[in-house]
Amino acid sequence: MRTQFLRIAPAILFLLLSFVLSAGSNGAQATPSVKVKILETAPPGKSVSIGLNQNFYVRIQYEAVVPTDIWARPYFQGREVNAASNASTQHSGRGEALGWFAFSQPTKVDEIRIKVDGDNGYGKVALSYPVDITVSANAAPSVGKPAWVDDLIQQDAELQKKAAAHAASSSNPVADSIFLFGFMLFMLLILVLSLAAPVWAFWKWRGGWRIAAAVPVCLMAFVVLRIVMGTSADPTSHNLWPFEILINGAFALVIICVLWLVRKLSLRNTG
């Protein structure tokens, strides 16, 4: 009993250490890496009326430790309102960013949320700002933009230009093409294997193994048939058909590999 405990003691210690370290790193992540503040809006004021397709601009002051995207999104009663908004450029250090949104239908907004990059990209709320915006078709027409809007639009355009130039200079076109070609070749191989392997197994194996091999065959047949029937009814219904085949094909390939392994082991055991 004691020797067994001594054997597993390092594993328990390792698990405890990992837990403590991960808890520590989570605590570090909880510290906000982005601080934002809304300086002003256009149209100004917290209670405003805007027309359809009229932009509502938000001037955001930020302080970001790492390059971060910043968006301003409208909410009403806790739910995100459907609105067009600007694509964010990456911001770092201290400065000002522009956020805007516009509506194609009459609605109301009672909150603006400033969102920054979250764990999965878009979505971490950095600030909630209460407002009372009414969007209607017969609102008074807007009376021009303040100077800060044009300044921030120009700043965004320059940032985008810089980012594009940096991306172009840091990429190696030959290496990129070789990588892309290799990747596509690998995908093609997976595709061919995923279709051929189940058919081969179904053809070669006998008895219950043949029924088991029929499962991935039927899976692939169903996927291909659904794509053929779907596209014959609506040509745009399966625009990503190679990925559909690839995802299901990889799955079928995994099933066949597992079956092949189990069959091999069982045949070896039965002699």
Q: Which residues bind another protein (CB under 8 A)?
A: 207-208, 211, 214-215, 218-219, 222-223, 244, 247-248, 251, 255
At its nearest, how many Å lie between another protein and the CB of residue 175?
32
Nearest by Cα to 220 from 245, 187, 192: 245
At its nearest, how many Å lie between another protein and the CB of residue 216?
8
Of 211 and 257, the one with the shorter C-beta distance to another protein is: 211
Per-residue DSSP letter, 139: P
Nearest by Cα to 227 from 254, 251, 245, 206: 245
Per-residue DSSP letter, 89: P
At its nearest, how many Å lie between another protein and the CB of residue 252?
8
The length of the chain in residues reads 271
At its nearest, how many Å lie between another protein and the CB of residue 8?
30
Of 180 and 211, the one with the shorter C-beta distance to another protein is: 211
For 73, the 3-state DSSP assignment is strand
Whose structure tokens read 């840091």?
Answer: 170
- For residues 149-159, one letter each, b for 16 or more C-beta atoms within 10 angstroms of the residue's C-beta and e for the rest, the string is beebeebbeeb
Of 16 and 211, the one with the shorter C-beta distance to another protein is: 211
At its nearest, how many Å lie between another protein and the CB of residue 214?
7
Of 84 and 218, the one with the shorter C-beta distance to another protein is: 218
In this structure, the dihedral spanned by the alpha carbons of residues 110, 115, 119 and 120, taken in order and rounded to 10 degrees, is 80
At its nearest, how many Å lie between another protein and the CB of residue 227?
11
Of 38 and 221, the one with the shorter C-beta distance to another protein is: 221
Nearest by Cα to 242 from 231, 257, 256, 254: 231
92/124 Cα distance (integer angstroms): 16
Of 157 and 218, the one with the shorter C-beta distance to another protein is: 218
